[in-house]
Structure 1
Amino acid sequence: MQIETLHDVMQWTKNMHQELHYFAANCAQKSDSVRVGLLLKYISEHEKKMAQVMKKFEDNGNSSALNTYSRHYYEKFTISIHTEGEHPFEKMDTDEIAIVTLEYHKNIVGLFEYLQKCSCAPSVTEFLDNILSVQEAEGRLLARNMKQIDDL
């Protein structure tokens, strides 16, 4: 995906959440462990919800903020997901899955924090503040709920 504007970053973020949703759902079906399966199902649903939230930000965002050029910011923070063949979740226990999932979220938050620090326009800063608030709150919720599932 070619990243040129903040709108592209939003699409990329939505796609990242969707990919995590699909991977977790697929791995949950293949898991032999009840706990791992429950955790992956939860992660899948959480990521599906986050993709929908990012879509709403994209659809309802300030057009001048979304059209802000952001290519050089994104290039410093590329994040990739293993997309071909077997996903690493299939060989992980619940702790490892939680760590990897939270690392994805930490990287997404880091990207938006970096974009926010580089922003000069108030409309862009406000837009990024809102995204960061949601991403951080959902990251905390994800961590707490994954811990509760692991305690089962």
Structure 2
Amino acid sequence: MEIKTFRELIDWTRDLHQHLSDCLAHCSGEHKQERAQALLQYLADHESELANIVAEFEHQGNHKAMETRVYDYLNHHPLETHRTCSLPYAEMSFEQISHEVFDFHDQIMDLYKTLVSKADIPEAQDLLQALLTMEEHEAMRLARQIGRMDDV
């Protein structure tokens, strides 16, 4: 997908979270370890929730910011989205699954950080900062929950 505006960036991000959710949910039923199955299902639910949260940004975002053109950052530093389903989550360990999901979120946060620093108008900068803050808070929440699961 070619991303030209912040609206398209939000759509793309939402789709990434939903795709990851679908993949994790599919793999949860196929994993042999109960603990990893629980993690995969929790992560699938979390990613689906994130897809819904990101979609709300499109509905509530400033129109001027939503139609602002995005720098060509994605052409030079694309996210490794192929990893969201090409690796067999059903065969990965609890730790490997966690690592992959956190790496996915780190890439999205790095993208938002870069775009915040390049935003030309305050409305776009505010939108990107809000998306970044949401991703950071959700990553922290995810880390706490996975830490609790790891303690069990």
Shorter chain as denominator, the TM-score bin is: over 0.9
Counterpart residue type for residue 40 of structure 2: L
For structure 2, the residue ranges without an aligned partner over 5 or more in a row are none
Matches within 5 A, 1:61-76: 61-76=61-76
User: Match for residue 96 of structure 1?
Assistant: 96
Distance in 1, Cα, partners of 2:88 & 2:54: 25
User: Match for residue 39 of structure 1?
Assistant: 39
Distance in 1, Cα, partners of 2:145 & 2:95: 13
User: Match for residue 110 of structure 1?
Assistant: 110
User: Match for residue 133 of structure 1?
Assistant: 133
Q: Is the 8 A contact 2:71 2:115 kept in 1?
A: no
Mark the CA change 1:146 to 1:83 in structure 2 (over 3 Å): closer, same or farther. Answer: closer
User: Match for residue 14 of structure 2?
Assistant: 14
Q: Is the 8 A contact 1:6 1:66 kept in 2?
A: yes
Q: Is the 8 A contact 1:39 1:150 kept in 2?
A: no
SS at structure 1 position matched to 2:29: helix
- TM-score, scaled relative to structure 1: 0.94
Q: CA deviation at 1:128?
A: 1.0
Q: What's the Cα RMSD here?
A: 1.4
Count of equivalent residues: 151
Distance in 1, Cα, partners of 2:65 & 2:102: 27
User: Match for residue 81 of structure 1?
Assistant: 82
Distance in 2, Cα, partners of 1:45 & 1:56: 17
Counterpart residue type for residue 95 of structure 2: D
Q: Is the 8 A contact 1:102 1:139 kept in 2?
A: yes
Runs (4+) of structure 1 moved beyond 2 Å?
81-84
SS at structure 1 position matched to 2:2: coil
Q: CA deviation at 1:77?
A: 2.9
Distance in 1, Cα, partners of 2:118 & 2:84: 30
